Amino acid sequence: MPKVIAEEGVAPARARDTRLVWLLGPALVAGVAYLDPGNVASNMTAGALFGYLLVWVVIAGNLMAWLVQYLSAKLGIVTGRSLPQLLGDRIHRPWARRAYWLQAEVVAMATDIAEVIGGAVALQLLFGLPLVWGGAITGAVSIALLVFQARRGARAFETVVIGMLLVIAIGFCAGIVVAPPDPAGIAGGLVPRFEGTQSVLLAASILGATIMPHAIYAHSALSRDRFRPAGATGPAMSAARIGSLLRATRWDVTIAMAVAGTVNVVMLLLAASSLAGVPGTDSLEGAYAAIREGIDPVVATLFAVGLLASGLASTAVGAYAGSEIMAGLLRVRVPVVVRRLVTLVPALAILAVGADPTWALVLSQVVLSFGIPFALVPLVWLTARRGVLGVFRNRTLTTVAGAAASVLLIALNGVLLWLVATGG
Q: Is residue 146 part of a domain?
A: yes
> For 153-237, where are the alpha helices, taking DSSP H only?
154-178, 183-189, 197-210, 213-227
> CB neighbours of 43 closer than 8 A, spacing ≥ 6?
58, 206, 209, 264, 267, 268, 271
CB 240, CB 2: distance < 8 Å: yes
- CATH code at 228? 1.20.1740.10
Q: How high is the mean pLDDT of the chain?
A: 83
Burial of 354 (0-12, 13-18, 19+ CB in 10 A): exposed
**pLDDT computed for residue 17 by the predictor:** 44
**pLDDT computed for residue 14 by the predictor:** 42
Q: Is the pLDDT of residue 172 over 90?
A: no
Query: How far, in whole angstroms, is CA 199 from its chain's centroid?
Result: 21
Helices 396-422 and 357-383: crossing angle in degrees, nearest 10, is 150
**pLDDT computed for residue 386 by the predictor:** 93
pTM above 0.75, yes or no: yes
Question: CA-CA distance, 68 to 4, in Å (whole number)?
Answer: 23
Amino acid at 370: F
**pLDDT computed for residue 6 by the predictor:** 37
CB 106, CB 368: distance < 8 Å: no
Q: Is the pLDDT of residue 419 over 70?
A: no
Closest CA to 215 of 382, 41, 63, 73: 73
Q: Is residue 18 part of a domain?
A: no
**pLDDT computed for residue 23 by the predictor:** 63
Query: What are 323-362's pLDDT values in tens digits?
Result: 889 889 988 877 777 777 887 888 899 888 888 887 787 7
Question: CA-CA distance, 82 to 76, in Å (whole number)?
Answer: 5
Query: What are 1-45's pLDDT values in tens digits?
Result: 333 333 344 444 443 444 555 566 788 888 787 888 878 878 888
Per-residue pLDDT, averaged over 313-325, amounts to 81
Question: CA-CA distance, 226 to 26, in Å (whole number)?
Answer: 8
CB 416, CB 256: distance < 8 Å: no
Q: Is the pLDDT of residue 237 over 70?
A: yes
**pLDDT computed for residue 228 by the predictor:** 62
Q: Is residue 17 part of a domain?
A: no
> CB neighbours of 236 closer than 8 A, spacing ≥ 6?
230
Q: pLDDT band for position 369 (50/70/90)?
A: confident
Question: CA-CA distance, 318 to 115, in Å (whole number)?
Answer: 8
> CB neighbours of 7 closer than 8 A, spacing ≥ 6?
395
**pLDDT computed for residue 236 by the predictor:** 66
Question: CA-CA distance, 65 to 82, in Å (whole number)?
Answer: 18
Closest CA to 111 of 255, 320, 352: 320
Closest CA to 344 of 62, 140, 160: 140
Query: How far, in whole angstroms, is CA 55 from its chain's centroid?
Result: 18
**pLDDT computed for residue 120 by the predictor:** 92
DSSP secondary structure letter of residue 334: -
DSSP secondary structure letter of residue 14: -
Q: Is residue 302 part of a domain?
A: yes
Per-residue pLDDT, averaged over 386-410, amounts to 91
Question: CA-CA distance, 125 to 243, in Å (whole number)?
Answer: 47
**pLDDT computed for residue 18 by the predictor:** 46
Query: What are 97-107's pLDDT values in tens digits?
Result: 999 999 988 88
Q: Is residue 9 part of a domain?
A: no
Percent of the chain whose predicted confidence (pLDDT) is above 90: 31
DSSP letters of 192-210?
Answer: ----SHHHHHHHHHHHHHH
**pLDDT computed for residue 4 by the predictor:** 38
Of the listed ranges 27-36, 113-122, 123-132, 165-174, the one predicted with least confidence:
27-36
* Position with higher pLDDT, 53 vs 274: 53
CB atoms within 10 A of CB 289: 16
Per-residue pLDDT, averaged over 142-156, amounts to 78
**pLDDT computed for residue 235 by the predictor:** 52
> CB neighbours of 228 closer than 8 A, spacing ≥ 6?
80, 234, 237
Q: pLDDT band for position 421 (50/70/90)?
A: low
Sign of CA dihedral 283, 30, 400, 100: positive
DSSP letters of 253-274?
Answer: HHHHHHHHHHHHHHHHHHHHHH
Rg (the chain; Cα; Å)? 21
Q: Is residue 4 part of a domain?
A: no
**pLDDT computed for residue 19 by the predictor:** 57
CB 12, CB 3: distance < 8 Å: yes
Q: pLDDT band for position 123 (50/70/90)?
A: very high
| Domain count along the chain | 1
Q: Domain range spanning residue 301?
A: 24-422
Q: pLDDT band for position 423 (50/70/90)?
A: low
Amino acid at 261: G
Q: pLDDT band for position 417 (50/70/90)?
A: low
Closest CA to 64 of 187, 179, 220, 208: 208
Closest CA to 53 of 226, 148, 150, 192: 192
Q: Which of 169-173, 223-227, 235-239 has the highest mean pLDDT?
A: 169-173
Q: Is residue 260 part of a domain?
A: yes
**pLDDT computed for residue 424 by the predictor:** 57
Q: Is the pLDDT of residue 230 over 60?
A: no
Q: Is the pLDDT of residue 213 over 70?
A: yes
Q: Is 165 helix (H, G, I), strand (E, B) or coil?
A: helix
Per-residue pLDDT, averaged over 197-215, amounts to 81
Q: Is residue 32 part of a domain?
A: yes
**pLDDT computed for residue 74 by the predictor:** 95
